[in-house]
Structure 1
Amino acid sequence: MSSDAQTARPSGLIAELRLLLMAVQYFTRVPMPAWVGHSAEHLSGTARYFPAVGILIGAIGALVLWLTSLVLPGPLPVILSTAFTVFITGAFHEDGLADTFDGLGGGATRERALEIMKDSRLGTFGTAALVLTLLIKIAALSAMPVTIAIGVLIAGHAFSRACAVTLLFASNYVGNPDQSRAKVVAQPMRPGELLFAIVIGVAPMYWCGLHALAGVVCSLIVLYLLTRWFMQRLGGFTGDTLGATQQLTEIAFHLAVLASWNST
Structure 2
Amino acid sequence: MQRLTALFAATMRAAAFLTRLSISGRFFERLPSRTPGLSPESSASDASEGTATQRGAAYRLGDDADAFPLVGLIAAAPAAVLMIALPALGLSPLVSAIVAVASLVAMTGALHEDGLADVADGLFGHQPKERALEIMHDSRVGSYGAIALVLSLGLRAALLAELAATRPLLAAAAVFAAAAASRGAMAAFWALTPSALDTGLAARAGQPTRDRGRLSLVIGAAIGLLFAAPLAGILSMLAATALAALAVILLRRIVVRRIGGQTGDCLGTAQQLCEIAILLGLSIGS
User: Do these two structures clear the TM 0.5 threshold for a shared fold by scoring above it?
Assistant: yes
Structure 1 residue 162 corresponds to structure 2 residue 184: yes
Identity of aligned residues (%): 33
Show structure 1 runs of 5+ residues with no match. 1-8
Q: Which residue of 1 aligns with 2:32?
A: none
Structure 2 match to 1:218: 243
Residue 139 of structure 2 is aligned to residue 120 of structure 1: yes
1:31 & 1:50 partners in 2: Cα distance? 17
Decide which of 55, 60, 74 is 2:78's aligned counterpart.
Answer: 60
CA deviations on 1:168-205 (whole Å, 9 max, x unpaired) are 1211111362xx443343414141x2343123201232
CA distance in 2, matches of 1:33, 1:109: 43
Residue number in structure 1 paired with 2:31: none
Question: What's the counterpart of residue 42 of structure 1?
Answer: 59
- Amino acid corresponding to residue 197 of structure 2 in structure 1: G
Counterpart of 1:235 in structure 2 is 260
Relative to the length of structure 1, the TM-score reads: 0.88
* Match of residue 228 from structure 2: 208
Distance 1:157 1:184 in 2: 24
- Distance in 2, matches of 1:55 and 1:105, equals 32
1:185 aligns with 2:205: yes
Letter in 2 for 1:247: Q
Partner of 2:106: 87
Matched residue of 1:88: which SS? helix
**Residue ranges of structure 2 left out of the alignment (5+ in a row):** 29-54
Identify the range of structure 1 (129-138 vs 48-57) with the bigger mean alpha-carbon deviation.
Answer: 48-57
Contact 1:160 1:247 in 2 (8 A): yes
Please tell me the residue identity of whatever aligns with 2:58: E
Matched residues, number? 249
In 1: Cα distance, 2:275 partner to 2:4 partner: 30
Structure 1 residue runs of 4 or more that deviate by more than 6 Å after TM superposition: none
Structure 1 residues 142-151 or 84-93, which shifts more?
Answer: 142-151
Mapping for residues 80-159 of structure 1, pairs under 5 Å = 80-144=99-163, 145-159=167-181
Q: Residue in 2 aligned with 1:4?
A: none
* CA-based RMSD: 1.8
Report the AA paired with residue 182 of structure 1: A
**2:138 is paired with a residue of what secondary structure?**
coil
- The 3-state SS of whatever aligns with 1:236 is coil
